[in-house]
Amino acid sequence: MSKTLSVVGVQWGDEGKGKIVHLLSRKSKWIVRYQGGNNAGHTVVFGGKKYALHLVPSGILVPGKKAVIGNGVVVDPNALREEVRMLSRRGISVKGRLFVSPLAHVILPYHILLDVLREEGGRGIGTTRRGIGPCYEDKVARIGIRIVDFLEPDTFKALVDKVLKVREAELSRSMPIRKIRAEVFKGYDSLRRFLKPFVADTSNLLSRALEKKEKVLFEGGQGAMLDLDFGTYPFVTSSNTIAGGASAGAGVGAGHLNNVLGIMKAYTTRVGRGPFPTEKFGTVADYIRSEGKEYGTTTGRPRRIGWLDLVQLKLALQVSGATQIAMTKLDTLTRVHPLKVCVAYKLGKKKLTSYPPSRSAIYDVEPVYTSFPGFSGDISSCRKYSDLPKGARDYVQWIEAELGVPITIVSVGQDRDQTIVRNKKAVWL
């Protein structure tokens, strides 16, 4: 059995990865975030309690597990400190269990300011305004500041001054550079002291863990359709969200990554701007949004609602190399009649079965649907696949056959225990 498992979203994010990662963490030793930042939001519910995490891997909620924030993540020190404090208040200690790569880049106040300026100045794409994009932008431009730099006061001060000089023309439209610099250094010493105990050579830690055949779970943020290369560019995030990003983002050899669990909803949602071929409006969309509590964990924004899209999913599963699927939110579709699934697109007189790379074409396509009668009844208490109504089982099995990837987990509620496992051996359960 593989000693690694990568968990990735295969839609536009918000697929319910936090719950699934938390569930799988019980049989894992290490849980690793490898990309994104506090723009991601993972909600976990168990024991009647709800936890919303943004940077710390959700496996931290399982006693004794070790969590890693890899080099591919961008870290807002203030946000991380608040998250650690929240966990502490709720009786969860991260001491000796949370490790942060010194090579991860740091989000600073000017990154957030740039993000807001662009969103409000007509250049926005619907970001979370957390500074994620500008931080990755600095990383690629080779003017970024890493955790290791943040911990060295002289190095940090010199690098901040360098970046502010480069970004002065844009930043000074909002406020004087001296004020921005003051904001950067506000509470700096306290943040540096907070971060230092968590910093470790995480690539080496994970390599040693794999040598000892300890199980490592890689937790992706966002979803495949927000991937910088394969997503709906330019309405994407600033990192590689697909499973391949785990190797570079965690410092683990690609040969270790051979088992990928794709997380998909039983329908589709999206937050922010960008193309969404199966988007639905009206009574049905409002019902699904209400029943599924479809509001962003990070921003609280209402999510856009659409039918399941097999054209989109086939692309996402292909580029992520998914070996199995977890379907979430099946319970939300109870009493929706009929259910629809997009099986192809029409572009003019052409029928497309592959997702088009053209940014204009994807706005012009019309979905081609197959309909199902749907199902009724409260399925949230089902714990065996055979307990589901026939209509629900037919829906799952038809999708599985069309995608050609086994659906090994079906989630029927937000709580960790509201989960049906169809193949325990495949998913470590």
pLDDT tens readout for residues 314-339: 999 999 999 999 999 999 999 999 99
Same domain for 163 and 183, yes or no, is yes
DSSP bridge pairs for 33: 69, 219
Looking at 178, 194, 210, which one is the last position of a domain?
A: 194
Q: Which CA distances in Å does 413 have to 50, 186, 213, 334?
A: 13, 43, 33, 12
Whether 212 and 351 share a structural domain: no
Residues 6+ apart with CB under 8 A from 156: 145, 149, 150, 188
Band of residue 283 on the pLDDT scale cut at 50, 70, 90 = very high
Instruction: Using alpha carbons, select from 186, 233, 157, 215 the residue that is nearest to residue 21.
Output: 215
Range of the domain at 219: 4-100+200-256
Q: Residue 139 above 80 pLDDT?
A: yes
28: CATH: 3.40.440.10
150 belongs to a structural domain: yes
Assigned domain for 428 exists? no
CATH number at residue 326: 3.90.170.10
Alpha helices (H) in 9-76, listed in sequence order = 17-25
171 and 241 in a common domain: no
Q: Is residue 364 part of a domain?
A: yes
Catalytic residues: 14, 42
Q: Is residue 391, in this structure, part of any structural domain at all?
A: yes
Same domain for 336 and 274? yes
* 250 assigned to some structural domain: yes
- Cα dihedral across residues 356, 402, 270, 326: positive or negative: negative
Q: What integer pLDDT is reported at residue 123 of this predicted model?
A: 73
Q: Is 429 domain-assigned?
A: no
Count structural domains, the chain.
3
| 138's tokens | 């600095």
Distance of CA 145 to CAs 142, 162, 166, 325, 417, Å? 9, 10, 14, 37, 41
Q: Determine the pLDDT at residue 39.
A: 77
Closest CA to 272 of 222, 235, 218: 235
Same domain, 271 and 407: yes
Look at residue 169 and tell me if it is in a domain: yes
Last residue of a domain, one of 256, 279, 301: 256
Q: Note the pLDDT tens digit of each residue in 381-390.
A: 999 999 999 9
Q: Judge if 271 and 373 occupy the same domain.
A: yes
166 is a domain residue: yes
Residue 45 CB contacts under 8 Å (≥ 6 apart), including other chains: 19, 51, 414, 415, 416
Domain co-membership, 81 together with 209: yes
**Domain end (from 148, 168, 194):** 194
